[in-house]
């Protein structure tokens, strides 16, 4: 039976790319895939992946986050002029504050421009369109990757699943696991209670607040504001992407309607330019010594927008005469100058680059972490905010790389760490073996089968 499956990711490349990875697997099984999108991303799903699109416009009949020319094929950044991205950059979340201090930035009582407000306002502007499209399409399943859920989905009559493209700590909600966004080690509970209490009063409380605000604006019932309740958890099915080598399932359990896949990892489309990616010949010819290593640097869409940090990192790596670096220069690439041992572009085909390199320096976003592990490569993680702290700690304590202080590292510390990892035979072997296992994993196939089973069950119950 061919299913109609509608994806609703929030604005953010990590969320979008995770949904694409799952959508590709479902498409291979003969299902019809649809995406809600804005004008900025219009054509990306259809032309690159063969998915059908529903373009949403705001209530003033203007496209949301318009940027018609922004594609990764024209050396521009694909989420230029993204409102949610601008809110996060301006919020202070990427600043040199501790994870505990940053929790105040998620408090809607202290920060009126919290990202949850932006998400809820964006949904409010397009909600009527979403409702009409859903009623006309009558999808068998809606898959949401957003912590604020459109009420027409949350309270609607159609089956929906929640897709979580971040570290799964939040899903467990267990006192036996470090609190979300803390980056605390799992073998030392010092500070856990204090952080968890503040996290619930700020982050979780604000998510609930803006979900209720959205519900009220559209005439739906309020949800109970309880820090133990996560409004975006689906009663039907919840899917998260995290390799079993890093997961927390030995410390706590999840309900039966949660399913793990090793990596969402999107695959390149044969129609996209990155399917035939090659490094520039001039860069390839530089430094042909046998011991030179190739290192990929990606601080994510938000991290690369911190020009001061990017310049510091580029200068530190320029001092490393032994190795070469591929750098994702990001949104403000015009303000960045690369060194002789470096090459980069505003937006790079990451999944095509990872097999070519020896080490990844990254912010620790969930997609990059899982895709890097899938490629069998070690990491140096420079966390900036949210679950990046948790991923950095988990990578280090599980032996797949190291974390480094994002704002206080020195050139000497960075380059020493690079050499230590590249010469750690045990770590390199561990990464290689894990990559082989993930590439052979059938967890994504199992998730597809679980989705099909759920939809069949719902269809029978409706009949």
pLDDT at 75 over 60: no
Q: What is the pLDDT of residue 79?
A: 56
Closest CA to 325 of 343, 351, 298: 343
Contact 450, 237 (CB under 8 A): yes
Provide the pLDDT for residue 117.
94
**What is the residue-averaged pLDDT of the chain?**
91
Quote the CA–CA distance of 56 and 126 in Å, as a whole number: 6
pLDDT at residue 433 is higher than 50 = yes
Residue among 43, 46, 37 nearest 15 (CA): 37
In the block, which residue shows the tokens 């020896």? 358
Closest CA to 295 of 202, 372, 213, 204: 372
pLDDT at 13: 86
**Could you say which architecture CATH assigns to the domain 273-440?**
3-Layer(aba) Sandwich (3.40)
- The count of other CB atoms within 10 Å of the CB of residue 355 is 11
What one-character DSSP code corresponds to residue 63?
B
Same fold? 4-262+442-462, 273-440:
yes
Pairing outcome for strands 237-241 and 160-164: parallel
- Token readout for 102 is 């940053």
Q: What is the pLDDT of residues 164-221, one digit of tens each?
A: 999 999 999 999 999 999 999 999 999 999 999 999 999 999 999 999 999 999 999 9
Higher pLDDT, 72 or 437: 437
Residues 6+ apart with CB under 8 A from 233: 162, 171
Query: What percentage of the chain exceeds 90 in pLDDT?
Result: 77
31/118 Cα distance (integer angstroms): 32
Identify the H or E element spanning 345: strand 342-345
Looking at residue 270, its pLDDT comes to 54
Q: Which pLDDT value is given to residue 256? A: 96
Quote the CA–CA distance of 360 and 291 in Å, as a whole number.
17
Tokens read off for 356: 């070519």
Top pLDDT among 166 and 322 is at 166
**pLDDT value of position 69:** 36
Q: pLDDT over 70 for what percent of the chain?
A: 92
Interval 345-371: pLDDT, tens:
998 999 999 999 999 999 999 999 999
How does 372-382 read in b/e, with b if 16+ C-beta sit within 10 Å?
Answer: bbbbbbbbbbb
Residue 17 makes CB contacts below 8 A (sequence gap 6+) with 264, 266, 367
Distance, in Å, from the CA atom of 224 to the CA atom of 207, rounded to the nearest integer, reads: 12
Q: How many CA atoms lie within 13 A of 433 on its CB side?
A: 9
Q: What is the pLDDT of residue 127?
A: 98
Cα separation, 234 vs 153, in Å, equals 10
Q: How far is it, in rounded angstroms, from Cα 369 to Cα 372?
A: 5
The residue ranges of every structural domain in the chain are: 4-262+442-462, 273-440
pLDDT at residue number 63 = 44
Report, as an integer, the average pLDDT of 455-460: 91
**Please, which pLDDT band fits residue 71 given cuts at 50, 70 and 90?**
very low
**Predicted local distance difference test score (pLDDT) of residue 80:** 57
What would the pLDDT profile of 368-419 be if each residue is shown by its tens digit? Answer: 999 999 999 999 999 999 999 999 999 999 999 999 999 999 999 999 999 9
All residues at 6 or more sequence positions from 437 whose CB lies less than 8 Å from its CB, including other chains: none
Helix (H, G, I), strand (E, B), or coil: what is residue 401?
strand
At residue 246, what are phi and psi to the nearest 5 degrees?
-105, -15
Helix H or strand E encompassing 99:
helix 99-102
Using alpha carbons only, give the angle 399, 317, 411 rounded to the nearest 5 degrees: 80
Q: Tell me, what's the pLDDT at 8?
A: 98
Instruction: Please write the tens of the pLDDT for every residue from 14-54.
Output: 899 999 999 999 999 999 999 999 988 888 899 999 999 99
Q: Is pLDDT of 162 > 90? A: yes
CATH topology of domain 4-262+442-462: Rossmann fold (3.40.50)
């Amino acid at each position: 039976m061919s299913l109609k499956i509608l994806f609703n990711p929030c604005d953010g490349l990590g969320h979008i790319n995770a949904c694409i990875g799952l959508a590709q697997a479902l498409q291979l099984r003969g299902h019809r895939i649809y995406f809600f999108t804005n004008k900025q991303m219009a054509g990306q799903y259809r032309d690159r992946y063969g998915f059908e699109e529903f373009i949403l416009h705001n209530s003033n009949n203007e496209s949301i986050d318009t940027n018609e020319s922004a594609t990764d094929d024209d050396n521009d950044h694909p989420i230029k002029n993204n409102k949610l991205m601008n809110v996060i950059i301006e919020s202070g979340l990427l600043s040199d504050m501790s994870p505990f201090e940053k929790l105040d930035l998620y408090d809607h009582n202290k920060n009126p421009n919290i990202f949850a407000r932006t998400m809820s306002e964006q949904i409010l502007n397009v909600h009527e369109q979403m409702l009409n499209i859903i009623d006309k399409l009558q999808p068998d399943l809606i898959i949401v990757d957003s912590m604020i859920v459109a009420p027409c989905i949350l309270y609607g009559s159609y089956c929906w699943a929640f897709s979580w493209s971040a570290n799964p700590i939040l899903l467990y909600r267990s006192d036996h696991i470090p609190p979300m966004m803390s980056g605390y080690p799992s073998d030392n509970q010092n500070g856990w209670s204090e952080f968890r209490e503040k996290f619930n009063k700020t982050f979780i409380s604000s998510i609930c607040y803006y979900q209720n605000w959205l519900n009220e604006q559209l005439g739906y019932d309020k949800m109970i504001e309880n820090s133990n309740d996560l409004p975006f958890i689906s009663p039907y099915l919840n899917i998260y992407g995290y390799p079993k080598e890093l997961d927390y399932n030995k410390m706590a359990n999840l309900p039966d309607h949660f399913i793990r896949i090793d990596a969402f990892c999107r695959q390149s489309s044969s129609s996209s330019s990155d399917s035939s990616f090659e490094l520039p010949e001039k860069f390839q010819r530089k430094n042909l010594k046998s011991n030179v290593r190739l290192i990929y640097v990606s601080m994510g869409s938000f991290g690369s927008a911190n020009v001061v940090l990017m310049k510091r990192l580029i200068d530190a790596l320029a001092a490393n005469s032994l190795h070469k670096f591929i750098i994702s220069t990001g949104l403000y690439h015009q303000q960045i100058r690369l060194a002789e041992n470096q090459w980069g572009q505003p937006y790079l085909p990451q999944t095509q680059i990872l097999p070519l390199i020896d080490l990844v320096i990254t912010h620790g976003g969930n997609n990059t972490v899982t895709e890097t592990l899938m490629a069998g490569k070690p990491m140096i993680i420079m966390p900036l905010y949210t679950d990046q702290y948790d991923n950095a700690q988990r990578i280090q304590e599980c032996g797949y790389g190291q974390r480094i202080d994002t704002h206080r590292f020195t050139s000497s510390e960075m380059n020493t760490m690079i050499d230590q990892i590249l010469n750690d035979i045990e770590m390199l072997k561990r990464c290689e073996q894990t990559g082989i296992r993930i590439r052979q994993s059938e967890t994504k196939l199992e998730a597809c089968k679980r989705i099909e089973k759920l939809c069949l069950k719902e269809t029978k119950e409706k009949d």
